[in-house]
Amino acid sequence: MKTYFYCSIFLIISAIFQAPAQESMMNEALRSPEVDETGRVTFRLKARDVQQVKVTGDWMPREGYGRATAALEKGGDGIWTYTTESLPSELYWYHFIVDGVRTIDPSNAHMIRDVASVFNIFIVPGDKGDLYSVQNVPHGTVTKRWYDSPGLEKKRRMTIYLPPGYETSDQEYPVLYLLHGAGGDEEAWSDLGRATQILDNLIASGKADPMIVIMPNGNAQDEAAPGKASGSLVQPSFMRPNMMAGDYISSFGDIISFIESNYRAKADKEYRAVAGLSMGGFHSLHISRYHPNTFEYIGLFSPAITPRNNAEAPVFQNMDETLKTQMENGYALYWIGIGREDFLYDEVTAYRNRLDALNMPYEYVETGGGHVWTLWREYLTTFAQQLFK
């Protein structure tokens, strides 16, 4: 009887733990998405007892604040299917909508988080898609480091990219400080922005010089990304308290000091660059102006210009005078890029008029598109190739 009892328990436990494994194997057998040689993408979802399945993604046309959807067709085997037209080489996000409920693709393990939303991703190879993919080239090292910020009175976390060969050489390297937008954190550029793949591939092809890339957390009140700071797990949110109030700008020297004290970073203006998207562009503008003899290269990607919080803070005063000082001190590149459909387009146009009135040189790139990662990855690619020449 004992033998029979133990065998029964074993069979029950085995069934419980094998069920998820079997389900996983079924999802693996169902290929979704599948990209063919022409760039057509096929999505599949097995769901017998539902009435409707749709897919939406960033290749779809905009509809208000969202994207259009496409309906999947149900086959006799309970598998829903949809195939796109040929898509240009790029990295894309998508998700399913099943009977009105948003869900990820259970057959695709590749996902990214943007603020509080999770999306599946896929890459159409070729031009940009190859640049954003892991290639058979030497790879840099990506680490997460905590540092002391006396200016913000807390320990904080940053992502650091060290170029290929850093650990095996005694070489010193220039540094790019790469800043995220509102709702982002120290993981945004490495995950959503594919910054590490872009740098690996540009450096390997000789299109960019080897450099250290620092991706700090730009939310001054936070220690780290949601779930990575001390305390309980918190829900990510887009609008952080006082996220553009000026404290981060005035304390940015804490980050530079940490990097130049702990890494083989070239500690001269001509070997420092700062760039960022949206809120990170705002920070790059004001950090480089407030510390006017610190950066040789400045990149503003779809930047906000005017303060949203605490506009009376000292860091936001005497803007024209500090811009003139920055210009007189000299810089190699002041780069501005924005899409024509971006909601910040008029704000950037007004800022360009201000620079023109000051006779302050800058390079301007205007593209199609709005306030999207598709453009920011492209802008980083262009900007990185012009650094430290």
| Residue range 260-269, pLDDT digits in tens | 999 999 999 9
pLDDT of 323 higher than 50? yes
Q: What pLDDT is recorded for position 225?
A: 85
Type of residue at 67: R
Do 57 and 87 sit in the same domain of this protein?
Answer: yes
- What's the CATH code of the domain at 187? 3.40.50.1820
Q: What is the mean pLDDT of the chain?
A: 91
User: Percent of the chain, pLDDT > 90?
Assistant: 79
Residue with tokens 């990510």: 236
Mean pLDDT to the nearest integer, 275-303: 97
195, 215 in Cβ contact below 8 A? yes
Percent of the chain with pLDDT over 70: 92
For residues 231 and 311, state if they share a domain.
yes
pLDDT of residue 117: 86
- Give the total number of structural domains in the chain: 2
Quote the Cα angle for 151-153-156, to 5°: 95
Q: Do 118 and 187 belong to one domain?
A: no
What pLDDT was estimated at residue 205? 97
Q: Is residue 101 part of a domain?
A: yes
The answer on 171 and 298 residing in a single domain is yes
Q: What is the pLDDT of residues 95-117, one digit of tens each?
A: 999 999 999 999 999 999 888 78
Do residue 171 and residue 251 come from a single domain? yes
pLDDT over threshold 50, residue 24: no
pLDDT at 240: 73
86 and 222 both lie in a single domain: no
The tokens for 56 are 């939406």
Predicted model pTM:
0.89
Residue 12 has what pLDDT?
34
Range with lowest mean pLDDT among 6-15, 58-67, 190-199, 358-367: 6-15
Q: What is the mean pLDDT of residues 240-247?
A: 80
Give the relative orientation of helices 319-329 and 279-290 as an angle to the nearest 10 degrees. Answer: 70
Q: Indicate if 216 and 276 belong to the same structural domain.
A: yes
Q: pLDDT band for position 243 (50/70/90)?
A: confident
Last residue of a domain, one of 70, 95, 125: 125
Structure tokens at 253: 């020297």
Residue 189: in which H helix or E strand, if any? Answer: helix 188-191
Q: Tell me what the mean pLDDT of segment 206-234 comes to.
A: 89
* 17: in domain: no
The predicted structure's pLDDT at residue 21: 46
User: Are 147 and 61 within one domain?
Assistant: no
| 19: pLDDT strictly greater than 50 | no
Rounded CA-CA distance 244/237 in Å is 15
Statement: residue 359 has pLDDT above 80? yes
Residue 195 lies in a domain: yes
Instruction: Say whether both 231 and 292 belong to one domain.
Output: yes
DSSP string, 223-273: SSSTTTSSSS-----SS-TTTTSSHHHHTTHHHHHHHHHHS-B--SGGGEE
CB atoms inside a 10 Å sphere around CB 361? 11
Structural domain for 331, as ranges: 141-384
- Residues 181, 116, single domain; the answer is no
Least confident range from 88-92, 116-120, 269-273: namely 116-120
Q: What is the chain's Cα-based Rg?
A: 24
Q: 328 in a domain, yes or no?
A: yes
Confirm if 107 and 64 have CB atoms less than 8 A apart.
no
Q: What is the structure's pLDDT at 224?
A: 86
Confirm whether 257 is domain-assigned: yes
Output the six-digit token pair for 323. 């811009």
Pick from 114, 249, 135, 109: which is nearest to 187 by CA?
114
Using the 8-state DSSP alphabet, how is residue 31 labeled? -
Among 90, 125, 160, residue at a domain's last position = 125
State residue 177's pLDDT score. 98
The CATH number covering residue 49 comes to 2.60.40.10
